[in-house]
């Protein structure tokens, strides 16, 4: 579809009520051509998000995966970000959605996206703050769903952080424990143990988070999913964000308190190198995380 023609009606339910579920996926250039990182896990989460919000998904996981591969190939892209989105459209006014055939639409936008948190973020690290905005309480918005409306909360946190001169905000959950960034999960390293908040701390269960836990264990670290009090951030040896867009981004200060040596630490560096090495096909992928783009299989060009 042409860029200019990719429009929706102003009366679409999603415009008024934030009723979308979506994904963010990266395709990397490898020595053997483009490859999508953990495609099945992302599409599975898209289905989970739709299930949570009772949005009828009209395509199978395999069809959505194929559509992502076709989108990269037909756009002649190698390295890109993919944004599959499922929206409630319809033209009925009112909160009650119309989930009949045709009132739910699915699209995939390919996007060339560089470093999400700044050009030298992956090497130098970023300065962040603890946000005054909390993640939603567990019986309010379902944080396990990657849904459009949830990002109003993320926007408040990110805007506050940026306006105060920080790159990103870390939100606490409704009980005061560390949750996540506006678009990233968080990891804390102390005495070589790698900690990350559990799913019950109002986080989105990140695909990158899951990959990092696996990599960290295989690098010989103990990995603990546990509730993290705010002050543990300040006394950590290393803290970093993980996410498809942010990849593995070191955090060098929080609330102007220097973390560790104030630069990317050795544990973060080793995990980052392994993560990007696998994603970019530079080191062997023992986990089967890459799906190759096979241009010859693309039906429509």
Dist CA 20 CA 87 (whole Å): 4
Kindly state the smallest distance separating residue 179's Cβ from ligand PMP, in Å.
9
Q: Using the rule CB under 6 A, is 131 a contact of ligand PMP?
A: no
Element (H, E) at 111: strand 104-111
Q: Does 183 bind ligand PMP (CB under 6 A)?
A: yes
Q: If 0-12 CB within 10 Å is exposed, 13-18 middle and 19+ buried, where does residue 242 land?
A: buried
Active-site residue 146, yes or no? yes
Considering the complex, state which of residue 90 and residue 177 has its C-beta at the smaller distance from ligand PMP.
177
208 touches ligand PMP by CB under 6 A? yes
Closest separation in Å from C-beta 142 to ligand PMP: 12
Does 207 participate in binding ligand PMP (rule CB under 6 A)?
yes
Q: Classify 102 in phi/psi space as left (phi over 0), alpha (psi -120 to 50) or beta.
A: left
Q: How far apart are CA 112 and CA 20, in angstroms?
A: 22
Among positions 2-61, residues that touch ligand PMP (CB under 6 A) are 24
**Core vs surface per residue 246-255: b (16+ CB within 10 A) or e:** bbbbbbbbbe
Torsion of the alpha carbons at 73, 75, 79 and 80, rounded to the nearest 10: -120
Query: Between residues 183 and 281, which has the closer beta carbon with respect to ligand PMP?
Result: 183
Out of 127, 184, 238, 247, the only residue in the binding site for ligand PMP (CB under 6 A) is 184
Closest contact distance (angstroms) between CB of 60 and ligand PMP is 21
Residues near ligand PMP, by CB under 6 A: 24, 146, 154, 180, 183-185, 204, 206-209, 242-244
């Amino acid at each position: 579809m042409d860029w200019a023609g990719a429009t929706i009606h102003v009366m679409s339910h999603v415009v008024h009520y934030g009723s979308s579920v979506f994904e963010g996926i990266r395709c990397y250039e490898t020595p053997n051509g483009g490859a999508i990182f953990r495609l099945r896990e992302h599409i599975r989460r898209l289905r989970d998000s739709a299930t949570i919000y009772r949005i009828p998904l009209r395509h199978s996981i395999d069809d959505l995966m194929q559509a992502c591969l076709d989108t990269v190939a037909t756009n002649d892209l190698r390295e890109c970000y993919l944004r599959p989105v499922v929206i409630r459209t319809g033209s009925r006014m009112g909160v009650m959605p119309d989930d009949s055939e045709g009132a739910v639409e699915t699209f995939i936008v390919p996007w060339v996206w560089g470093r999400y948190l700044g050009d030298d973020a992956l090497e130098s690290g970023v300065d962040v703050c603890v946000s005054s905005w909390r993640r939603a309480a567990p019986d309010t918005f379902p944080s396990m769903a990657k849904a459009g409306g949830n990002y109003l909360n993320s926007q408040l946190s990110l805007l506050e952080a940026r306006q105060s001169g920080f790159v990103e905000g870390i939100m606490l959950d409704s009980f005061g424990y560390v949750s996540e960034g506006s678009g990233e999960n968080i990891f804390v390293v102390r005495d070589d143990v790698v900690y990350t908040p559990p799913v019950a701390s109002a986080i989105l269960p990140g695909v990158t988070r899951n990959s990092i836990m696996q990599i960290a264990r295989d690098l010989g670290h103990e990995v603990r999913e546990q509730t993290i009090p705010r002050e543990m951030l300040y006394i950590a040896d290393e803290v970093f964000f993980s996410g498809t867009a942010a990849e593995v981004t070191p955090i060098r200060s929080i609330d102007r308190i220097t973390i560790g040596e104030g630069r990317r630490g050795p544990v973060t560096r080793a995990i980052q190198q392994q993560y990007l090495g696998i994603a970019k096909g530079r080191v062997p992928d023992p986990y089967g995380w890459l799906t190759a783009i096979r241009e010859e299989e693309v039906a429509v060009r």
